[in-house]
Amino acid sequence: MHFVSAQARRRVLLAATAIVVSPAAFAVDITVPSGTTLTTQQTISGTNKLTVDAGGAITTSSSPSVVLSSANASLTVDNSGTISSTNGRAIRTSGSSGSFSLTLTNRSGALIEGTDDAIGINRALGGGTILLDNYGTIRSTTDGQALDFNPALGGTVTINNFGVIEANGTSDVVRPGGNATITNYGTIQSMNDGVWTGTEWDRGDGIDFQSAGAGTVYNYGTVEAAKHGITGDTGATAFEITNYADGLILGRNGSGINFDIPDGATPEQIAALSTAHVVNYGVIAGAALDTSDPVHANADGDGVDIDYLANIENHGAILGLGAVGDKDGNPDDPNISDAISIGGGSITNDGLIYSVQRGILVDDSEGGSAYGATSIVNSGVIFSGSGQAITLRGNFADTITNSGVIVGDIDMGAGDGDIDKGSGQDLLRNTGWIFGDVAGSSWLENYGAIDGNVAMEPSYSGYLMNDGDISGNVDLAKGGNLQNLGWIGGSVVSEGYGVQISNGGSIDGDVTLTGALWGHNVLMNFGSIGGNVSTGIGNDLFANFGPIGGHVDLGAGDDVASLTEGDGYSGSSFDGIDGGTGFDALDLWSTASGVSTLRGATNFETLGVRAGQWALGDDQSYSDGVTVYSGAALDVNTRLAAVTMVEGGATLSGGGSVSGLVTTSVGAVIVPGNGSSGALTVNGNAYLDGATMKVGMAANGASNQLAVAGTAAINGGTVVLDLAPGPYVVGTKATIVTAAGGVSGSGFAALDAPSFTFITPTLGMTANSVTISLDRNGVPFASFAQTANQRAVANGLDKAPAGSALYSQIVSSTTSAGLADAYDSLSGEVHADLAGTLLDQATQTELTLLQRLRQVGTPAKGAAAPSQKLGYGEENKPSTAAFDALQNSGPRYAGWAQGFGSWLNRDSDGNASATDSSVGGLMAGADLTNDNYTLGLAGGYSWGSTNTSKWSGSADIETALLALYGGVAFDATKLRGGASMAWSNIDTSRMAMVNGIVETPQASYNATTGNVFGEVAYDAALGGSVIEPYAGLGWVNVDSEDFAETNAPLTGLASSGVSYDTAYSTLGVRLSADFVAKGIKVTPRGMLGWRHAFSDVPPEAAMLFENTGTGFTVAGTPIAQDSLLVEAGADFALNQRFSLGFTYAGSFADNADSNAVKLTGLLNF
């Protein structure tokens, strides 16, 4: 037998008593231990606690199984086992007086279950609190709520769910009562999809605040129900719903979150309602998932549906997954699934707002106006499957700011756009992407992309700023402003007045402003418009800076069109512009670097060329005239049917016609024709007062002309002459103004013409014309010559006929610079220079022959043996008579040959240029020596060239010569002499340049050179040497044939030939000696002399210009008058018959020097 303590016996007794005694009378703490199942109703009251241990149970057929006696009670239920009722509620309160509080913990693995409510609180709290912590399962199996705390008002309800709370009937899962806070980490779910009652569906909600008017939900788990996930009627205190990252709130056949306005609420009561606040990081979804009864299927699957105001922050996903059926049995009002439907407030989204139909709806839940303004800020995605992405209804200042993606239409007003923003002063600011239409906005700023149409709110004061892309059309409705800096892929239309459009981007379609009878529209195009432009019947302003692909029609009204061209602007680029009816004005502006062209302008009454350079591209007419304003220019090469007024500082030009011409102030510029030809025709009268007329004139006298059909009144002003490049013909006259009705007035006051050296342009006026003539002034050509040759050329040209080409070239000079050089190049002085070159060749021949005669000289009787004995073998016998004839020793024959080269340099004398000549050649001869005389014959051939230092003058000379020579010795006295004749073939070339024209005249002709010379010498012995003083005389004559230069039609010369001769004398001394070296007899020799030419006149040539027929005389480079002669050489007798000799000969004067080298071979027979 076991010992039982008194305490244990007392506990057993109390438990047994509790089973059999009425709970109301005997309520105490109750503990149901593990393994114990109580089958009778249990009651706790006061501050009692009910504890059901794990494995313990209270399972009854009572309703409820546990009674919470609630009069002034603060009860505790701690369940780790099972509390259930098979015939009703598991736990419910009884009584309603006083305060009531309850702390209920349903632990992990525990179950509270009833066929009706699992837990029911059917009284107000009276300031008490309910704290429910669920880690297990709370379930209603048949009907009723899992938690029905709806009457629990006047206190605080806190529900923390970490387990499962579910209802298996058609009732709600949780009705939390007043001032309730629900924190869910588990599952709150309705397991039944509902029952069709015959008139409606009976479906339960997950959390239904009923009419409590406020509550807070923190959801980390799942709230899922047959109808709404969370619902209730909005009250004066706000609902606060936060759905965290792992949270799901799902209404399978309703809304994820649904808060209604209480039925029957008055406008005043509605205005007092609170603003719900929903923050979502997880998933909130509404759907229409029940397909069990397709005939009666009816569900409005919204993600969040709050009839009154709400502030929604979405960082997760809010989904509207479908809707079926209609509202209140009206087939014309079908249910629409909205991701979010609210009555106003704010929506901030950086997550996903998605609906298979409409994305966001803001109204009164009945299709009427919302209850307040709405602000939508989207940086995430708003996606509508088949309806509008955003619909805002009501006259409020709504705002949509999008930097994310919106797929679907936006309707901000009464239109049918994809974003509908109501009829208030709505703002849509887009920096993201909108894939759909936008309608009803009164203020739209687009910096992103709108892939659809835009229809502004139908008022008169909207504003659309596009700095992004709009792929469709833009409808400005009845008015407002459009500023486009981006792209509009469609057309722009407006039926209002006061419309202002500024396009700095591109509009691919048309721009149509239908306008009104009053007011005016403004269209400013800085970008491009791909289609047509048309305005209405108001007084419209059209300013165009960019290209337009179609036609411009300004319609009725008094319109003003302004076209601007510039670098990067093309305001006149369109397919015609029509001013329409009314009094219409067209203004042209340009800052372009080139000329802008106006084409296709019709039905304008006035044209104003305001700035820049403009040209007409076709015939045009302006009934009230054309004005070219100061600083602007108009080029008319077509028919302009308008009286044209030109202000001072403005320009009218071209080869077309105008109806009349008036210059309104001093400095107006008229430029008739094009280039230096063509005429500007005035079909009426012309009035030129202080005007500047610019005309071009060709060398042949053709010129621009102002051709006036009526009268031309000219008073003052200036003619500016632009002469085409010359040469010009003196006396040429051009007519620059003609007037069929006569020329009147004082005429032009001045002529501004190019400056010429020898021409003076002169104005003239007759009864019907104004002329310009090119007259010769009194300045002689030679005024600018600097040398005698240049003066000779200039004077020859000055006598030429006025029409000759070379004369025209000179007379057309605009400056004196270069004239002296031109004269110099024309002189042909190379031809005169040749006389000096040929003279030098003749003297070189003379020296060669005299040297040969010295070689064969005979020694004087009694004199020392001379060194020149190389022509024969035996030494002569001496003689005593100084002048007796030498003893005859028999004839001796010799032959010789010489190769030579010479170089002649003559300096300029300040008139003719310096020359350089070079000659090379061969000479050969044979002679007979008998006693004291020698006779010989020689011939030769040479080739050489002469070059002048200026103008590339050159001559190639080939010469053949024949010479006779002889000498006689009278003892020591020698007489020597000879004569030669040379025949030369000469080819010349030079450069001539006049006013940039360069020619190379060439000539070929023959010349002859004759030379006669003689000398007397005396041999004297000086030791072993011989010294020979000598004196000589000579004469040279040069004659050339006539010639005419070729290859120079302008500057070529002709000449009758050059003739030049001079006599000269020579005084000098020679020295020679003999010595034998290694069997060779060597005779070194030298000479020093002075030559004087008797002619002090340089060579001259008479020239004739082939082009003009006038002549002149040109002087060549002077010959040397006094020269120092130097000669050195040596002869080498290799044997008695053959010897070689080498000679250097030089001539040096102040203005010339000559150097020659000779190599001679001698053979004695």
pLDDT digits 0-9 by tens, 583-601: 999 999 998 888 999 999 9
CA distances from 217 to 177, 279, 766 (A): 13, 10, 108
Q: What is the pLDDT of residues 77-113, one digit of tens each?
A: 999 999 999 999 999 999 888 899 999 999 999 999 9
**Which residue shows structure tokens 């702390």?**
103
Could you tell me if 164 and 186 are in contact, meaning their C-beta atoms sit under 8 angstroms apart?
yes
Would you list the domain boundaries of the chain?
1-192, 501-604, 605-779, 825-1164
Q: Within 10 A of 266 (CB to CB), how many other CB atoms are there? A: 9
Beta carbons of 1122 and 1152 less than 8 angstroms apart: no
Query: What backbone torsions phi and psi does residue 85 show, to the nearest 5 degrees?
Result: -135, 130
- Cα 709 from Cα 904, distance rounded (Å): 75
| The dihedral formed by the CA atoms of 621, 625, 631 and 636, expressed in degrees to the nearest 10 | 30
Which among 1119, 1118, 1114, 1121 is positioned nearest to 1100, based on CA atoms? 1114
Q: What is the DSSP string of 1100-1117?
A: EEEEEETTT--EEEEE-P
Cα–Cα distance, 473 to 457 (Å, whole number): 14
Quick one: tokens of 351?
A: 């997550």
How do 1100-1105 and 1111-1115 pair as beta strands? antiparallel
Interatomic CA distance for residues 818 and 993, integer angstroms: 10
Give every CB contact of residue 477 below 8 A, 6+ residues apart in sequence: 455, 456, 457, 458, 459, 462, 494, 495, 496
pTM over 0.95: no
Q: Is 121 within 8 Å of 104 (Cβ atoms)?
A: no
Place of tokens 């835009």: 454
Q: Both ends of the chain: CA-CA distance in Å?
A: 191
pLDDT at 520: 77
Tokens of 5: 């303590």
How many CB atoms within 10 Å of residue 400? 28
- The DSSP string of 497-561 is SS-EEEESSEE-S-EEE---SSS--EEEESSEE-S-EE--SS--EEEE-S-BSS-EE--SS--EE
CA nearest neighbour of 77 among 90, 63, 60: 90
* The two three-digit tokens of residue 152, written as one number: 């629990």
pLDDT beneath 70: ranges in the chain: 1-27, 291, 295, 413-424, 459-461, 515-519, 567-569, 857-890
CA–CA separation, 42 vs 49, rounded Å?
A: 11
Distance in angstroms (rounded) separating the CA atoms of residues 225 and 209: 14
Q: Per the structure block, which two tokens stand in for 953?
A: 């003058």
Chain-centroid distance, C-alpha 718: 41
* Encoded tokens for 437: 């239409």
φ, ψ dihedrals at 819, nearest 5°? -65, -45
CA-closest candidate to residue 1058, choices 1108, 1001, 984, 989? 984
> pLDDT, tens digit, for every residue of 756-776?
899 999 999 999 999 999 999
Pick the CATH number of 825-1164 from 3.40.50.300, 2.40.10.10, 2.40.170.20, 2.40.128.130: 2.40.128.130
Q: What residues contact 265, with CB distance under 8 A and at least 6 apart? A: 273
Longest dimension (CA), the chain: 209
| H or E segment to which residue 310 belongs | strand 310-314
pLDDT at residue number 565: 86
Is the omega angle on the peptide bond into residue 331 within 30 degrees of 0, that is, cis?
no
Contacts of 412 (CB under 8 A, 6+ apart): 390, 392, 398, 400, 419, 420, 421, 422, 426, 428, 438, 439, 440, 441, 442, 457
* Per-residue pLDDT at 701: 86
- For 881-899, give the secondary structure using H, E and C: CCCCCCCCCCEEEEEEEEE
Extended beta strands in 740-853, E state? 743-747, 750-752, 759-765, 769-776
